[in-house]
Amino acid sequence: MFTLEINGTPVAVIRASEERARELLDVEGFKDDLRTMTSEGKPLWSGDAAALKLRPSTEDEVETFEDAMDDDEEFDDEPDDSGTKAADSADDTDEDLEDVDILFLIDIDEEGEH
Protein backbone atom coordinates (compact mmCIF):
# COMPACT_ATOMS: atom_id res chain seq x y z
CA MET A 1 0.00 0.00 0.00
CA PHE A 2 1.08 3.54 -0.69
CA THR A 3 0.20 6.87 0.85
CA LEU A 4 -0.41 10.03 -1.12
CA GLU A 5 0.92 13.10 0.64
CA ILE A 6 0.03 16.60 -0.44
CA ASN A 7 2.35 19.29 0.88
CA GLY A 8 3.62 16.83 3.49
CA THR A 9 0.15 15.86 4.77
CA PRO A 10 -0.93 12.21 4.39
CA VAL A 11 -4.18 12.47 2.41
CA ALA A 12 -4.99 8.99 1.13
CA VAL A 13 -3.93 5.36 1.32
CA ILE A 14 -3.88 3.61 -2.04
CA ARG A 15 -4.10 -0.17 -2.21
CA ALA A 16 -2.34 -1.04 -5.43
CA SER A 17 1.03 -1.92 -6.82
CA GLU A 18 3.48 0.97 -6.88
CA GLU A 19 3.14 1.13 -10.66
CA ARG A 20 -0.67 1.39 -10.45
CA ALA A 21 -0.51 3.96 -7.64
CA ARG A 22 1.85 6.12 -9.71
CA GLU A 23 -0.38 5.73 -12.78
CA LEU A 24 -3.31 6.99 -10.71
CA LEU A 25 -1.45 10.27 -10.16
CA ASP A 26 -1.42 10.73 -13.95
CA VAL A 27 -5.15 10.18 -14.42
CA GLU A 28 -6.74 13.56 -15.26
CA GLY A 29 -10.01 12.64 -13.54
CA PHE A 30 -8.20 11.85 -10.29
CA LYS A 31 -6.15 15.06 -10.47
CA ASP A 32 -9.37 17.01 -11.14
CA ASP A 33 -10.92 15.40 -8.06
CA LEU A 34 -7.93 16.40 -5.92
CA ARG A 35 -8.23 19.99 -7.18
CA THR A 36 -11.98 20.23 -6.59
CA MET A 37 -12.39 18.22 -3.37
CA THR A 38 -12.10 20.20 -0.15
CA SER A 39 -11.33 19.49 3.48
CA GLU A 40 -12.43 22.08 6.02
CA GLY A 41 -13.26 24.36 3.11
CA LYS A 42 -9.78 24.24 1.59
CA PRO A 43 -8.91 22.49 -1.70
CA LEU A 44 -6.91 19.29 -1.23
CA TRP A 45 -4.46 20.23 -3.96
CA SER A 46 -3.50 23.42 -5.78
CA GLY A 47 -2.48 21.62 -8.96
CA ASP A 48 1.26 21.91 -8.25
CA ALA A 49 2.71 18.51 -9.19
CA ALA A 50 5.65 19.07 -6.84
CA ALA A 51 3.22 19.05 -3.89
CA LEU A 52 2.27 15.39 -4.55
CA LYS A 53 4.38 12.64 -3.01
CA LEU A 54 3.75 8.90 -3.07
CA ARG A 55 5.45 6.78 -0.41
CA PRO A 56 4.99 3.36 1.18
CA SER A 57 2.24 3.43 3.79
CA THR A 58 3.14 3.21 7.47
CA GLU A 59 1.87 0.33 9.61
CA ASP A 60 -0.69 2.69 11.19
CA GLU A 61 -1.96 3.79 7.77
CA VAL A 62 -2.27 0.17 6.61
CA GLU A 63 -4.19 -0.65 9.81
CA THR A 64 -6.52 2.32 9.24
CA PHE A 65 -7.15 1.09 5.70
CA GLU A 66 -7.81 -2.48 6.85
CA ASP A 67 -10.12 -1.29 9.65
CA ALA A 68 -12.12 0.70 7.10
CA MET A 69 -12.34 -2.41 4.91
CA ASP A 70 -13.60 -4.43 7.88
CA ASP A 71 -16.20 -1.76 8.68
CA ASP A 72 -17.37 -1.48 5.09
CA GLU A 73 -16.58 -4.48 2.92
CA GLU A 74 -18.15 -2.77 -0.08
CA PHE A 75 -16.25 0.46 -0.65
CA ASP A 76 -18.53 3.38 -1.31
CA ASP A 77 -18.36 7.16 -1.21
CA GLU A 78 -19.89 7.52 2.25
CA PRO A 79 -17.65 8.65 5.10
CA ASP A 80 -17.17 6.04 7.80
CA ASP A 81 -17.47 6.76 11.54
CA SER A 82 -13.97 8.26 11.62
CA GLY A 83 -14.87 10.80 8.95
CA THR A 84 -12.59 9.20 6.39
CA LYS A 85 -13.94 8.47 2.96
CA ALA A 86 -13.44 5.24 1.08
CA ALA A 87 -13.57 5.24 -2.68
CA ASP A 88 -13.52 2.41 -5.16
CA SER A 89 -11.24 3.38 -8.01
CA ALA A 90 -13.67 2.01 -10.56
CA ASP A 91 -15.90 5.04 -9.97
CA ASP A 92 -14.80 7.86 -12.26
CA THR A 93 -11.08 7.45 -12.82
CA ASP A 94 -9.95 4.94 -15.43
CA GLU A 95 -11.02 1.42 -16.31
CA ASP A 96 -7.36 0.39 -16.44
CA LEU A 97 -7.04 1.18 -12.73
CA GLU A 98 -9.88 -1.04 -11.50
CA ASP A 99 -7.55 -2.84 -9.10
CA VAL A 100 -6.86 0.35 -7.13
CA ASP A 101 -8.69 1.21 -3.89
CA ILE A 102 -8.36 4.54 -2.09
CA LEU A 103 -9.09 5.53 1.49
CA PHE A 104 -8.92 9.23 2.30
CA LEU A 105 -7.27 9.83 5.65
CA ILE A 106 -8.69 13.32 6.07
CA ASP A 107 -12.26 14.55 6.32
CA ILE A 108 -13.61 15.36 2.87
CA ASP A 109 -16.28 18.06 2.73
CA GLU A 110 -19.62 17.13 1.24
CA GLU A 111 -20.52 19.03 -1.92
CA GLY A 112 -21.72 22.50 -1.02
CA GLU A 113 -20.54 22.11 2.59
CA HIS A 114 -17.74 24.67 2.43
> Based on the structure, what is the number of domains in the chain?
1
CA separation, residue 21 to residues 43, 80, 89, 105, 114 (Å): 21, 23, 11, 16, 29
At 99, is the pLDDT very low, low, confident or very high (cuts 50, 70, 90)?
confident
Q: Could you tell me which residues come within 8 angstroms of residue 53 by beta carbon, excluding any fewer than 6 positions away? A: 4, 5, 6, 8
Examine residue 110 and state whether it is found in any structural domain, yes or no: no
Examine residue 42 and state whether it is found in any structural domain, yes or no: yes
What percent of the chain shows pLDDT beyond 70?
75
Per-residue pLDDT of 48-91, as tens digits, reads: 999 999 999 999 999 999 999 888 765 444 444 444 445 544 44
Predicted TM-score (pTM) of this structure: 0.76
Average pLDDT of 18-43? 94
Average pLDDT, the chain: 83
First-to-last C-alpha distance (Å) of the chain? 30
Examine residue 113 and state whether it is found in any structural domain, yes or no: no
Residue pair 20/93 in contact (Cβ under 8 Å)? The answer is no
- What is the distance between the alpha carbons of residues 70 and 50, in angstroms, rounded to a whole number? 34
Residue pair 84/104 in contact (Cβ under 8 Å)? The answer is yes
Q: Is the pLDDT of residue 104 over 80?
A: yes
102, burial (CB in 10 Å: exposed 0-12, middle 13-18, buried 19+):
buried
- What is the distance between the alpha carbons of residues 109 and 61, in angstroms, rounded to a whole number? 21
Examine residue 10 and state whether it is found in any structural domain, yes or no: yes
Domain carrying residue 9: 2-104
